[in-house]
A and B are shown apart, each in its own frame.
Chain A
Amino acid sequence: MAVLSARAHRTLQDLQEEVAERTGPSCLVSCSPEVDSYCQKSGLSFVHLLRPFCQLKNVNAPVRTVGDSAYRIQDLTIRVYDGRTMYQPTVAQGDDHLAHVLSSYRVEKEIEGVDAGSEESLRGYLNSKIERAREVKVPWWRKFRQEYDRLLLFGTHETLDLPVAAIIAVNSSDPDVVSKTKALVERTRQEHADVWNPNLLKHFVLVHDCQNGDMEMAKRQLEGMKLAFGKNECHMVHLNGKVPDLLNGTPPIPDLWSECIKESLPGGGAGEFKVQTSGAGGDEGSTLGSLLSDEDINSVISFLKDFVVKRLIPHLENRIRYFNHHISSTRKGMRNQFKNYWFRKEKDNSLAVNGEPAYGPQSIEFQIRHLGDLSFMMKDFELALSSYRLVSNDFKSDKAWKNYGGSMEMAGLCIVMMKGSQREAETCLDSAFSAYQRHGKDWKLTVRSLLVLSEVLVASDRPREAIGALKAAIIDNNHLRAALLLEQAAYLYILSPKPLFRKFAFHMALAGRHYSTCGNHNLSAQAYTLVLAVHSKHNWPFIDEHMHFSLGKESKQIENTPLALQCWMRLLVAIYQPANVQQQYLDEFLKLSEAVQAGNKSNMLPLLLPNVDVENVYVHFDDFRCFSAGAYAQSEQVWSRLDERVIPPAILSGQNWLQADLSSSKDYLNLCGAQEEIGVDVEFANVLQVTIKVQDVHLDCSYSATDIKGFQSSSAEDVEVKHEQFTLLPLEKTLIRLRVSVKKPGMLRINGVRWLLCGIAYGAQEFDIRGPKRKKVGEGEPHRDHPPHRRLLFEVLPTIPRIQATFSEFPENMYAGEICKCGLTIENTGAAPLHAMRIVSTNNSLIFGKFILAQEESLIDFDQQSVETVNSGGVYSLPEDFTLNPGAKMQCSVWIYTTQVGNVGMHSAFYFQPKQSHAKMKFRVLHCTQHVQVFPSIQLSGEMLLSEVSTKQLVLHTKIRNCNTQDTFFVEKLVESNGTHDLNVICARSDDSNTHRVNPKEQTAIFIEADEKGAAGKLDGSMQGLNLAGESMLGLEPCVLRSLKESLRLSTPEAQAGGMKFPLLASWHTNSRVTAREHSGVIGMNFLMKGQDKPMHMTVSYPQRIVHNFGGDAVCMVPCTISIFNASQQSIQGTLNLDNAVHNTKPSWTMPKGSGQGPNDESMESEGSDLSGCPSYCWCGKLVHKFYDVQPWETKEVAATVCIFAPGCYEVDAFRLQWSFSNANFSQNELEGTKFCLNVSDGRL
């Protein structure tokens, strides 16, 4: 046999003890009414009086049965039954009784305070259960087992419970005891004819009540009896010897009896009857055995001992010997065997009950069986086993399955008692089981055999098979038994060496189900709790739901409402259920919570409905950055760029420094001003398909006037929370901003959110915001590190000013380059004065005029105070000393100008400082965002050339393209924004009208001549087409124009060196198809001189016609002026060389010439020319001119002379300019002069 675990050993021992108790010799007790009345005084019956003492330990009595060797019996348990109860109750009665017993079993406390929600408590409960299940069997199972056996006592097919002795008890008070005893015996025989047999051992007890009649008298009576019945057959027991001393009550005596008194069945039987506690006993009767003195008890014990040792054991020995002899004579030996086999055929089955032969007391099988039982009682198991086996064969061949089963069952028990091989025992019990099944009349026996089998299997440490046996025992649809069996099986699963928790859970669940169907809600509830305990964290959705549902119902049945509530709460998130089911769950839950919470907010439930997104909240608050509506949405860098510009560096540095030592310690804190609202965006989701109402939603905050340590839950006077309410449609999500504002400076912590579900259930959830862990965490500080918009810890500063900026009639759509005007009102909504305001806007698209302080809505007041803004690089700053008091408003007009196209966000930042500045918050910045839809308008492009005509003149070749797809634009005015040039359109495409029309997606070109102001105005006359703007500058506000130029300057990247810039503004107007109104605006463009290629410019002015008399003078001198213009951005230096056409092929000229040798070259040239004969013309006079740093835009005039020797038309081109930028002495450039024509005629004729 496999080595057994300690538990198995224990179970084996219990099993043997139990069996021994179950199978002790049973005695019939019959007593006169008086005797019972005596016992009544101490609330007992005579039988019950005896019971506690029936387990006789180490009697050490020698026994000699059939074997030659005697052996000693140490312990022997006898069973005493009142004769009137020695029959078996009906099946129905039995079941009712069991049901009653188990339902009366109190197990509410089992699941007291178990929290269906928290895994820990469930686990804890499970483990405690397992522990208890390890050392003792489940208590109610034990109970069930005992009762079950008791109900099967006195079976007709087994002789185990037949009485082997009769105890006749008479009262001593009777004068003639002997005759009375005889009468009683007689009566008993008649009453119990079925169990009575002549050679039943009779024993007589004289019961004496010390409270009436004296002892001597009784003793005499006993002598009389002894004479009559024999010396050993009689005993005396005296009762009620205790004298209750009234001074100091009766000392409490140990309660020996209560567990001996089993409940009686309504139908009676099963060895029990109802004890009449009412009656003479009175109040003493309440405590059992209250009147029994120790002497009394001793007398009882000694009586029983004598009875067992002196009478019962010898008697049984005799019987055994007798039966054995009888049987062996008839059945042992080959002959008998054969005969027996032969004659079994024609054995009369006259008294057959329902198809199986019944065996009367005289029948040999009966006797064999009886022998078996007797020897079993006498613990002579070999004999018992052999006789059981013997008789079982007969039964088998008679197909008397019931008897066969019984005998096999006993055989199995024999082996167990002998500690024989488990296998054998099992086979016996197996066959018993199958036999009973074949008999198939009452299941009880089958089940019993299986129970025994399973116990044996457990004892042999094979729990799995035991489970099999238990499961096999679930045969009829008796829910209670099924439940018990399943439960037992479940326990076996976890008690087995390798615990199988899931199987355990499954069987428990089934058990629970059976329990609930047979209406035993306590057991059912505790079973379900165990299942939940196993399943707590595995979240199998359907299982969890079903379990919560069932447990909820059961625990409601047993008035464990808290538990029920928790279960229903879990059910609220059964998302896969159809709407109607969810609705009914919800209603059920609400009912319960109404009962439990009873409307007091103190006990909040961690409701999961509505589902709160506790990990993501967005906190809106104003520290030194305030946001107007919609400004939150903008990306961070937009604001950071604006802040860079608007916050004066001085303050910022200070701020940073302060922040530095501030942030080093308290970077988990948010700053905010007192009486300012903090908003927290929380998402509520309705996971169900039913509409739910959520009311009284508010933040749960705690406030501390001092510091982090001293938080206590917020009270209304210092923290004010706003209460929201909303209704969630099926599967709806909503984002709610919950608000809180603090009245006094201090610390605020936002813990979570609370709400009222459907007007009944109070729910709460704590925020749990994810974030990186912080290194060192002080007390009360958050353990995680969050970005500001996720922090829930606030330091509330004293009131700080705050402003509100509102734009009036801000256009929703405009054209690129349009200039729209709108109004701006700035109000100090805070409670403190502020000053030193500064304003910026993204790429300066907002242009602010001067502010007008509004005294109490009287804008057009006579002495209205107006404040100029100083614009430096797009930063508009109000004078330092100007303060805006709380509630004061000021207004200004704002011009919007942008050339971006599309949906343009106009972001602006308003900086200001509180008058008395706070250390932690020296300033504040308000961020505003406006959006405007910008349609494309016209674009300018083109290039700028220097006019050939004059160095003072530029030619702008301008292209105007209309990028808009549907609107036509009219270009009216063109202005050079520096105001240094006058413009003049040379040839316009449409010179009929005075505007330029540009159709959608078209492009037109105009040539404009720009003349430097004050230059010799030879162009004055040519005013045509377009009327050019004078100083009026398109009629724009100066401030607007300034910033316009500014932006224009900024718009194009810095021109490369030497390039020349010419900013042009073109004002246009259109009447839009989209907005159906007139729009007008200005588009700017920077013309860039193609700087590098032609920065120098040379023009020659000369007389048109020359008449010269060559007769008079052979040489005609023609004076002309060469003017050199520096169009570049830098000063230049260079040399102007004049030489003669004839020589410029000479190789000697190509060599690079320093300015130094210029003249002598020239001189030798001139004479060289003389040599070569008739030259067409030549330069004369100073032929080399040098100049140093000619300034940009400067013009140098050089007088030169051309000599002509014969009339004719000359093309003069022989002059060159070598120049270089004065700062960079490399890169000599050369500029050929453009040829011009001299027409000389002879004036001689």
Chain B
Amino acid sequence: MSSKAKGASPGGGDRINSELFTLTYGALVRHLLLDLESPEEVNKQLDKMGQNIGIRLVDDFLAKTNTGRCRNFREAAKTIAETGFRMFLGCSAKVTQIDDKECKMVLSENPLTDFVELPEKLQPLSYCSLLCGVIRGALEQISMKVECEISKDPLKGDERFELHMRLVEYVNEEYPFKDD
């Protein structure tokens, strides 16, 4: 993933044109659809890819924004929402209704889904499940096992894009670290 042209990126990563970025992601999803043919499979795949991205991304993130390791779930959620999205997606997100096991994040706007309209035969496809994967992967690296899902999706007719994060457990580093 790469940061977006508009929107300041605190980490100051080099930027690419947002259309290019959006279309690249679109192409990715399309290709997966061609390969895997069933939306469910694609969701899984996207999620997995996202996880791998997240695993790698988190270090970069922590390095660029010298934020200390988030101790608990609340902190993590806040950091992701306020800094993470800004930095890598160029859009801000704000955390709504958080407690120390679950939280919801609402994205101001989602650059991934510009121009996108889901055809009705692809309704089961959750287009952005990559994001969930990223978050899961990232938090997994800082030893938080979370479940993340898209609870509201404009592509499915909701009015805003909302992620739902649920903390499963705090894992202490166990060996071997899985990285698939």
Give chain A nearest CB distance to B9 CB in angstroms.
34
Give chain A nearest CB distance to B13 CB in angstroms.
33
A637 to B149, CA, bound (A): 13
A448 at the binding interface (Cβ < 8 Å): no
Residue in B41, B121, B147 whose beta carbon sits within 8 Å of that of A772 in the complex: B41
Please give me the residue from chain A that is nearest to B36 by CB atom: A772
- Asked whether, in the complex, the Cβ of B38 is within 8 Å of the Cβ of A790, the reply is yes
- Asked whether, in the complex, the Cβ of A770 is within 8 Å of the Cβ of B35, the reply is no
Please give me the residue from chain A that is nearest to B38 by CB atom: A770
Residues from 132 to 169 in B contacting A, C-beta threshold 8 Å: 147
Query: Which of A772, A773, A784, A790 has the most C-beta atoms of chain B within 10 angstroms of its own C-beta?
Result: A772
Residue in A615, A637, A771 whose beta carbon sits within 8 Å of that of B41 in the complex: A771
A790 to B147, CA, bound (A): 25
Residue in A615, A772, A786, A787 whose beta carbon sits within 8 Å of that of B35 in the complex: A772
* Residues of chain A contacted by B41 (CB below 8 angstroms): 771-772, 787
B109 at the binding interface (Cβ < 8 Å): no
- Asked whether, in the complex, the Cβ of B37 is within 8 Å of the Cβ of A787, the reply is no
Please give me the residue from chain A that is nearest to B124 by CB atom: A616
Please give me the residue from chain B that is nearest to A641 by CB atom: B168
Residue in B36, B121, B147 whose beta carbon sits within 8 Å of that of A771 in the complex: B36
Residues from 748 to 802 in A contacting B, C-beta threshold 8 Å: 769-773, 784, 786-787, 790
- Asked whether, in the complex, the Cβ of A637 is within 8 Å of the Cβ of B35, the reply is no
- Asked whether, in the complex, the Cβ of A773 is within 8 Å of the Cβ of B35, the reply is yes
* Residues of chain A contacted by B147 (CB below 8 angstroms): 637
A411 to B36, CA, bound (A): 72
- Asked whether, in the complex, the Cβ of B40 is within 8 Å of the Cβ of A784, the reply is no
A771 to B121, CA, bound (A): 14
Give chain B nearest CB distance to A1032 CB in angstroms.
36
Inter-chain contact total with CB atoms closer than 8 Å: 21
Give chain A nearest CB distance to B177 CB in angstroms.
21
A787 to B41, CA, bound (A): 9
- Asked whether, in the complex, the Cβ of A771 is within 8 Å of the Cβ of B38, the reply is yes
A933 to B138, CA, bound (A): 36
A776 to B121, CA, bound (A): 29
* Residues of chain B contacted by A637 (CB below 8 angstroms): 147
Return the CB mask of B96-122 against A: 1 if under 8 Å, else 0: 000000000000000000000000010
Please give me the residue from chain B that is nearest to A790 by CB atom: B38
Residues from 9 to 61 in B contacting A, C-beta threshold 8 Å: 35-38, 40-41
Return the CB mask of A1220-1233 against B: 1 if under 8 Å, else 0: 00000000000000
A615 to B124, CA, bound (A): 13
A329 to B124, CA, bound (A): 98
A769 to B76, CA, bound (A): 41
Interface range on chain B (Cβ under 8 Å from partner): under 10
A637 to B41, CA, bound (A): 17
Residues from 597 to 623 in A contacting B, C-beta threshold 8 Å: 615
* Residues of chain A contacted by B37 (CB below 8 angstroms): 770-773, 784
* Residues of chain B contacted by A772 (CB below 8 angstroms): 35-38, 41
Give chain A nearest CB distance to B149 CB in angstroms.
10
Please give me the residue from chain A that is nearest to B149 by CB atom: A635
Give chain A nearest CB distance to B32 CB in angstroms.
10
Give chain A nearest CB distance to B136 CB in angstroms.
13
A769 to B35, CA, bound (A): 14
Give chain A nearest CB distance to B113 CB in angstroms.
23
Please give me the residue from chain A that is nearest to B147 by CB atom: A637
A771 to B40, CA, bound (A): 9
A786 to B35, CA, bound (A): 13
A786 to B44, CA, bound (A): 13
A1237 to B41, CA, bound (A): 79
A361 to B37, CA, bound (A): 86
* Residues of chain B contacted by A790 (CB below 8 angstroms): 38
* Residues of chain B contacted by A786 (CB below 8 angstroms): 38
Give chain B nearest CB distance to A360 CB in angstroms.
81
* Residues of chain B contacted by A787 (CB below 8 angstroms): 40-41
Please give me the residue from chain A that is nearest to B121 by CB atom: A615
Please give me the residue from chain B that is nearest to A770 by CB atom: B37
A615 to B41, CA, bound (A): 14
Give chain A nearest CB distance to B127 CB in angstroms.
17
* Residues of chain A contacted by B38 (CB below 8 angstroms): 769-772, 786, 790
Please give me the residue from chain A that is nearest to B40 by CB atom: A787
Give chain A nearest CB distance to B59 CB in angstroms.
28
A1027 to B121, CA, bound (A): 66
Please give me the residue from chain A that is nearest to B45 by CB atom: A772
A773 to B41, CA, bound (A): 11
A615 to B40, CA, bound (A): 13
A771 to B37, CA, bound (A): 5
A771 to B41, CA, bound (A): 7
Please give me the residue from chain A that is nearest to B44 by CB atom: A787
A790 to B38, CA, bound (A): 10
A784 to B40, CA, bound (A): 14
Please give me the residue from chain A that is nearest to B39 by CB atom: A770
A772 to B41, CA, bound (A): 8
* Residues of chain B contacted by A770 (CB below 8 angstroms): 37-38
A772 to B121, CA, bound (A): 17
Please give me the residue from chain B that is nearest to A786 by CB atom: B38
Give chain A nearest CB distance to B11 CB in angstroms.
33
* Residues of chain B contacted by A615 (CB below 8 angstroms): 121
A787 to B35, CA, bound (A): 15
Give chain B nearest CB distance to A735 CB in angstroms.
15
Residues from 631 to 661 in A contacting B, C-beta threshold 8 Å: 637
* Residues of chain B contacted by A784 (CB below 8 angstroms): 37
Query: Which of B35, B36, B37 has the most C-beta atoms of chain A within 10 angstroms of its own C-beta?
Result: B37
Give chain B nearest CB distance to A939 CB in angstroms.
15
A784 to B41, CA, bound (A): 12
A773 to B34, CA, bound (A): 10
* Residues of chain A contacted by B121 (CB below 8 angstroms): 615
Give chain B nearest CB distance to A829 CB in angstroms.
31
Give chain A nearest CB distance to B155 CB in angstroms.
19
Give chain A nearest CB distance to B138 CB in angstroms.
20
A974 to B4, CA, bound (A): 60
Residues from 249 to 298 in A contacting B, C-beta threshold 8 Å: none
Give chain A nearest CB distance to B120 CB in angstroms.
12
Give chain A nearest CB distance to B94 CB in angstroms.
25
Query: Which of B35, B38, B41 has the most C-beta atoms of chain A within 10 angstroms of its own C-beta?
Result: B38
Return the CB mask of A483-495 against B: 1 if under 8 Å, else 0: 0000000000000
Give chain B nearest CB distance to A367 CB in angstroms.
81
A678 to B36, CA, bound (A): 26
Give chain A nearest CB distance to B42 CB in angstroms.
9
A773 to B147, CA, bound (A): 29
A769 to B41, CA, bound (A): 12
A479 to B145, CA, bound (A): 80
Return the CB mask of B48-84 against A: 1 if under 8 Å, else 0: 0000000000000000000000000000000000000
* Residues of chain A contacted by B35 (CB below 8 angstroms): 772-773
A787 to B37, CA, bound (A): 12
With A772-B41, A784-B37, A787-B40 known, 16 other A-B pairs at CB within 8 A are: A637-B147, A769-B38, A770-B37, A770-B38, A771-B36, A771-B37, A771-B38, A771-B41, A772-B35, A772-B37, A772-B38, A773-B35, A773-B37, A786-B38, A787-B41, A790-B38
14 contacts between A and B (CB under 8 A): A769-B38, A770-B37, A770-B38, A771-B36, A771-B37, A771-B38, A772-B36, A772-B37, A772-B38, A772-B41, A773-B37, A784-B37, A786-B38, A790-B38
Interface residues, chain A, with chain B CB atoms under 8 Å away:
615, 637, 769-773, 784, 786-787, 790
Which 5 pairs, one residue from A and one from B, show the smallest C-beta to C-beta distance? A770-B37, A772-B36, A770-B38, A771-B38, A771-B37
